Amino acid sequence: MSASARPRDTAPGKAEDALSALTALVRDDLEACNRVIIERMQSEVALIPQLAAHIVAAGGKRLRPLLTLAAARLCGYRGQRHIGLAACVEFIHTATLLHDDVVDESALRRGQASANALFGNKPSVLVGDFLFSRAFQLMTADGSLEVLRILSDASAIIAEGEVLQLMTQNDTSTTEAQYLQVIEGKTAALFAAATEVGAVVAEQPPAAQARLRAFGMALGVAFQLVDDALDYSADQAALGKTVGDDFREGKITLPVLLAFARGDEAERAFWRRTLEEREQTEADLAEAQALMRRHGALADTIARARLYGDQAQAALAPFPDGPEKRALSAVVEFCIERAR
Amino acid sequence: MSASARPRDTAPGKAEDALSALTALVRDDLEACNRVIIERMQSEVALIPQLAAHIVAAGGKRLRPLLTLAAARLCGYRGQRHIGLAACVEFIHTATLLHDDVVDESALRRGQASANALFGNKPSVLVGDFLFSRAFQLMTADGSLEVLRILSDASAIIAEGEVLQLMTQNDTSTTEAQYLQVIEGKTAALFAAATEVGAVVAEQPPAAQARLRAFGMALGVAFQLVDDALDYSADQAALGKTVGDDFREGKITLPVLLAFARGDEAERAFWRRTLEEREQTEADLAEAQALMRRHGALADTIARARLYGDQAQAALAPFPDGPEKRALSAVVEFCIERAR
């Protein structure tokens, strides 16, 4: 998946304040988590920490481990297990990023040269496998079969979502249901697992665990919807992201599906030529953006994200008020406000 | 890794009788294991079972799961857990094969078109991830943290071995110690885990568990040593394998290291040109084989394999006599006799 296709956590802007607040709230936990990440990505095979450092240590705001840390604290957890498990979540995320970049032949990740561009595809595949294995070693050391179930299930669903994305790529007959299955798999499943694990270590009753899982799932879908809109609308200078990656790769995202469904025959021919046959000229991205504006495709994608954001807030509502709840609620807004 | 670089289980020949005997001994278990494999490689994402069937269902003699099944029975186990765990071992093996073929850009696997050649690199990476995740789902359902530890450790060591192999590729200054670390990682670690898991389900004391682990490790090293010799010496028609894959890829294996160390300066220049600079002509493979014969490099590689085979037999010796012990002992011979 391209840098555009999975939510990047690096977009700066005013909405970032929400993420900064969450980060500040669990700063000690996050620093401990980062220490586990650095320690556990070591290997006597030197290329592994070199490549892992490029993607693990350098990039990202650690959104997914932050969710695990904050969810555990929200549930009143006062132990240390959530720290190692947050590192597991980040390792799984990092492994999928490495494999995505190979799959997408991406040259950029988080605005920097991707690992596969710098080190080659081969080490990227294998170091991804290593980090994935490390995640399961860490979980095994933690010793909770419930956590192992949640994160092994999430890993399988992520892979299924990625394969489904490949199958729907360049196919304008993709349905919205299939698109939703793709983004629930490739993005939201790990958000859901990240928050659920926080409830599990805090030994919450099943209802609270299910609510935190639902929170993560809805948040993840909202996040990916906004990301797919940003791929056609981002202020490249402000967000430090490339616009048009999905278009160039022929990814079928909701903005495309809405514009395609609402377009006339000539417009559908445009989408088929550019996304299915991948015959694109310099002017085509601007034309795609114009068609999306004409049909309100980006605005409606963001509106859809808001609905999922509301679901996330509703799942959070029954938890007792406090700084963690407010910070998690603000993260939902952060995910959607990125689109401004 | 090429078809040549990891032991292929499909080589026919007289030594195969040993494997047939083992297969016959645990036939019901193996059939049950195959049913688990078929059932658990399913997904509603159609490309996953399609691609998985190509590699999981079609190929191989299931040597690694056979080791788990036979080891459990050797230890007197009478339950059913070893069946699902043997499937885990095969899933991990299959996932690494899919990723190896991407890494090596292999066109062939077990004499047939490789999955990456047929389906493309992208699905091969992602279906590998899916099968790897499935393995951990199955282990989690089994519920033994000891098994999870053994197989997550093995997975990390496999990845390390593969990365180290990449780092030593095309480097004639690779040491024998590094070569041994590569093959212990990429091949023997999973053999060791496969046999150790059999002891664990049978609730053997630590000493017996360690012996079965040592058995698998020595067997795996012997197997890979023979494989590396066969890559320069196999009877292509009889074994159905390509000779010279390792040479063409510039893999640094023991036959190369021995011939290099024993060669004069002109010979070392030959190895550097063909394996480091990868400037090869049609006649170079025959020249490489001639140099290996001159220096006894293949015979000494097989002799080394015999030493590891003896270690495997010694590890097996304390177990009570019976059909399982005899079959496992014969498998050691099978691994070495392939070189005849």
Please give the average per-residue pLDDT across B283-291, as a whole number. 96
pLDDT at residue A1, as a whole number: 37
Please give the average per-residue pLDDT across B111-139, as a whole number. 87
8 Å CB contact between A181 and A221: no
pLDDT at residue A12, as a whole number: 46
The string of DSSP letters for A127-181 reads HHHHHHHHHHHHHHHHT-HHHHHHHHHHHHHHHHHHHHHHHHTT-TT--HHHHHH
Contacts of A47 in chain B (CB under 8 A): 163, 166-167
| B99/A129 touch (CB, cutoff 8 Å), yes or no | yes
A128: nearest CA partner in chain B: B159
Q: Of A126, A158, A160, which has the smallest distance from its Cβ to B166's Cβ?
A: A126
pLDDT at residue A316, as a whole number: 98
pLDDT at residue B242, as a whole number: 74
Q: How confident is the model at residue B10 (pLDDT cuts 50, 70, 90)?
A: very low
| A164/B132 touch (CB, cutoff 8 Å), yes or no | no
Q: From the CA of A24, how many Å to the nearest CA of chain B?
A: 33
**Half-sphere exposure (Cβ direction) of B226: Cα atoms closer than 13 Å:** 25
Count helices and strands (H / E) in chain B: 18, 2
Contacts of A163 in chain B (CB under 8 A): 43, 45, 47-48, 123, 126-127, 130
Contacts of B1 in chain A (CB under 8 A): none
pLDDT at residue A108, as a whole number: 59
Q: From the CA of B72, how many Å to the nearest CA of chain A?
A: 22
pLDDT along chain A (340 residues), means of 10: 44 64 95 95 95 77 95 98 98 94 65 70 93 98 98 98 94 96 98 98 98 98 96 72 87 97 98 96 96 97 98 98 96 86
pLDDT at residue B103, as a whole number: 67
| A148/B140 touch (CB, cutoff 8 Å), yes or no | yes
pLDDT exceeds 80 at position B234: no
pLDDT at residue A86, as a whole number: 98
CATH class of this structure's domain A16-337:
mainly alpha
8 Å CB contact between A110 and A8: yes
pLDDT at residue B3, as a whole number: 38
Q: Which of A104, A151, A160 to mutate to test the interface with B (most CBs of B within 10 A)?
A: A160
Query: At B71, which amino acid appears?
Result: A
Which of left, alpha, beta for A244 (phi over 0: left; psi -120 to 50: alpha)? left
Which residues of B touch chain A, with CB atoms under 8 Å apart?
Answer: 43-48, 95-96, 99, 102-103, 121-123, 125-127, 129-130, 132-134, 136-137, 139-141, 143, 145, 148-149, 152-153, 155-156, 158-160, 162-164, 166-167
| B121/A140 touch (CB, cutoff 8 Å), yes or no | no
Task: Find which of A106-115, A117-126, B107-116, B276-285 is predicted with most confidence, using mean pLDDT.
Answer: B276-285
Short-list B18, B34, B26, B16, CA closest to B74: B26
B102: nearest CA partner in chain A: A122
**Half-sphere exposure (Cβ direction) of B125: Cα atoms closer than 13 Å:** 31
Please give the average per-residue pLDDT across B146-169, as a whole number. 97
Q: For residue range B16-42, what is the model confidence (pLDDT) as tens digits?
A: 678 889 999 999 999 999 999 999 999
| B166/A129 touch (CB, cutoff 8 Å), yes or no | no
* Bridge partners of residue A109, in order along the sequence: A112
pLDDT at residue B9, as a whole number: 46
| A47/B129 touch (CB, cutoff 8 Å), yes or no | no
| B143/A143 touch (CB, cutoff 8 Å), yes or no | no
pLDDT at residue B108, as a whole number: 60
Q: Of B45, B47, B155, which has the smallest distance from its Cβ to A136's Cβ?
A: B155
Q: Which of A1, A48, A163, A182 to mutate to test the interface with B (most CBs of B within 10 A)?
A: A163
| A129/B132 touch (CB, cutoff 8 Å), yes or no | yes
* Bridge partners of residue A112, in order along the sequence: A109
CA distance A185 to B186: 30
B145: nearest CA partner in chain A: A140
Q: For residue range A46-65, what is the model confidence (pLDDT) as tens digits?
A: 999 999 988 876 657 899 99
Task: Find which of B80-89, B96-105, B225-234 is predicted with most confidence, using mean pLDDT.
Answer: B80-89
Give the lowest-confidence range in A266-275, B110-119, B242-251: B110-119
| B126/A140 touch (CB, cutoff 8 Å), yes or no | no
Please give the average per-residue pLDDT across B84-104, as a whole number. 91
Residue carrying the six token digits 């599990």: A200
| B133/A155 touch (CB, cutoff 8 Å), yes or no | yes
pLDDT exceeds 90 at position B5: no
pLDDT at residue B107, as a whole number: 62
Instruction: Select the more confidently predicted residue: B258 or A113.
Output: B258
Domain definitions of chain B by residue range = 16-337
| A149/B160 touch (CB, cutoff 8 Å), yes or no | no
pLDDT at residue A102, as a whole number: 79
Q: For residue range B62-87, what is the model confidence (pLDDT) as tens digits?
A: 999 999 999 999 999 999 999 999 99
| A167/B132 touch (CB, cutoff 8 Å), yes or no | no
